[in-house]
């Protein structure tokens, strides 16, 4: 078995080298294919980062009455923090709210004078809630509204929740995220299928030049597995070389994009992503190259084995 495997491997290597220009063309086409797959990975990461940044800017704030006890508010904060749908809950005390208000209106002396005339802090404490997913805000708001602990002498200590003011924005964001995820998946599938078809056609062209050799091997009684083996090896070699070439090309390309387009891409540095996720990109491209080269060779040889 080892001898047969060695012969198949040596035969596949010789086939790849002997094909010369056809092998080079195959590697070039498969390199372009794998680079498309790589760029789709970068695009997916960019979309994920962008959507995360947008989601991070959306929250729901719960504003409490000025008579609300701080203990009750912090108790609600602890409950919300323990919810799986909640990412963070930020507490702003009455004093902090007043200080922030004064800072925002530092150049509005009329407003500050009116505030000083009141003689007391008119602002209540608040909680800013960030959910893991925008479509979870409704459930969080319902939970808060039904919490019996927020009642004091039959009156709710909540002044208002700005969810309904932001609902249209949250709904549009949720719809945009869902559309982007579906659209991105469709783009990936379309480009992947187109790239695979082109690569398979190129490999079939390379094997077409060896059709007479396949016919001779069949005439002398070689098994289908023995005939197919060297071409599978040659296809896998082409796939691995294409993946390595794509990885080498990505280094200067991502470095250039990272140095010049990070701001334009909303802070997403392509080179940083490439280097920090190199093993993942390496595994995907090499694995795709092996599968693509082997699968394309299998299909191409199969045609002549059935003839």
pTM: 0.66
pLDDT, one tens digit per residue, over 271-290 is 999 999 999 999 999 998 88
Question: What pLDDT band is residue 104 in, cutting at 50, 70 and 90?
Answer: confident
Residues 6+ apart with CB under 8 A from 61: 126, 127, 128, 129, 161, 162
- Give the separation between CA 198 and CA 119, rounded to whole angstroms: 77
Q: In this predicted model, which residue has the larger pLDDT, 242 or 166?
A: 242
d(CA 42, CA 55): 20
132-181 pLDDT, tens per residue? 887 788 888 888 887 766 765 567 788 888 877 766 766 776 677 677 66
| Cα 303 from Cα 205, distance rounded (Å) | 12
286's CB contacts (< 8 A; 6+ apart) are 239, 240, 243, 244
Average pLDDT of span 5-11: 68
Read off the pLDDT of each residue in 100-116 and give the average, rounded to a whole number.
79
Average pLDDT over residues 211-232: 71
Tens of pLDDT, residue by residue over 291-304, are 888 887 777 777 66
Is residue 90's pLDDT more than 80?
Answer: yes
Share of the chain above pLDDT 90, in %: 12
Mean pLDDT of the chain: 80
Report helix angle 224-260 to 278-306, nearest 10: 150
Provide the token pair at 96. 């902090």
What whole-number distance in Å separates Cα of residue 228 and Cα of residue 222? 10
Strands 158-161 and 155-156, by their bridges, are unpaired
Termini Cα distance of the chain = 28
Domains and CATH numbers, the chain: 2-54+173-306 (no CATH), 66-156 (3.30.70.3040)
Separation CA 11–CA 237 (nearest Å)? 12
DSSP string, 170-215: HHHHHHHHHHHHHHHHHHHHHHHHHHHHHHHHHHHHHHHTTHHHHH
Does the pLDDT at position 250 exceed 90? yes
C-alpha angle 161-155-93 in degrees, rounded to nearest 5: 50
In this structure, which long-range contacts are made by residues 47-50, counting pairs with CB atoms below 8 Å and at least 24 apart in sequence? 47/180, 47/184, 49/266, 49/267, 49/268, 50/266, 50/268
Two tokens, residue 179? 């559309």
Return all residues near 268 (Cβ < 8 A) that are at least 6 apart: 45, 46, 49, 50, 262
Residue whose tokens read 């597995």:
225
């Amino acid at each position: 078995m080892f001898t047969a495997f060695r012969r198949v491997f040596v035969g596949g290597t010789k086939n790849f080298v002997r094909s010369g220009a056809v092998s080079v063309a195959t590697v070039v086409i498969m390199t372009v294919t794998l680079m498309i797959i790589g760029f789709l990975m970068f695009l997916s990461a960019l979309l994920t980062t962008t959507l995360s940044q947008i989601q991070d800017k959306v929250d729901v704030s719960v504003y409490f009455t000025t008579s609300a006890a701080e203990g009750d508010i912090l108790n609600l904060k602890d409950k919300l923090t323990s919810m799986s749908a909640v990412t963070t809950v930020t507490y702003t005390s009455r004093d902090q709210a007043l200080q922030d208000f004064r800072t925002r209106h530092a150049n509005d002396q009329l407003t500050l004078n009116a505030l000083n005339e009141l003689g007391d802090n008119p602002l209540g404490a608040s909680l800013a809630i960030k959910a893991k997913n925008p479509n979870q805000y409704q459930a969080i708001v319902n939970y808060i509204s039904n919490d019996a602990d927020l009642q004091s002498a039959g009156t709710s200590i909540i002044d208002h929740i700005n969810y309904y003011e932001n609902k249209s924005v949250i709904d549009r964001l949720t719809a945009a995220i869902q559309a982007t995820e579906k659209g991105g998946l469709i783009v990936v599938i379309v480009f992947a299928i187109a790239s695979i078809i082109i690569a398979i056609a190129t490999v079939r062209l390379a094997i077409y030049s060896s059709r007479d050799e396949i016919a001779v091997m069949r005439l002398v009684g070689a098994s289908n597995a023995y005939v197919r083996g060297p071409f599978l090896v040659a296809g896998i070699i082409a796939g691995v070389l294409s993946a390595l070439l794509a990885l080498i090309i990505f280094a200067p390309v991502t470095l250039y994009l990272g140095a010049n387009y990070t701001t334009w891409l909303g802070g997403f540095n392509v080179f940083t992503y490439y280097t920090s996720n190199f093993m993942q990109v390496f595994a995907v491209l090499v694995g795709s190259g092996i599968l693509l080269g082997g699968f394309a060779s299998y299909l191409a040889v199969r045609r002549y084995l059935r003839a």
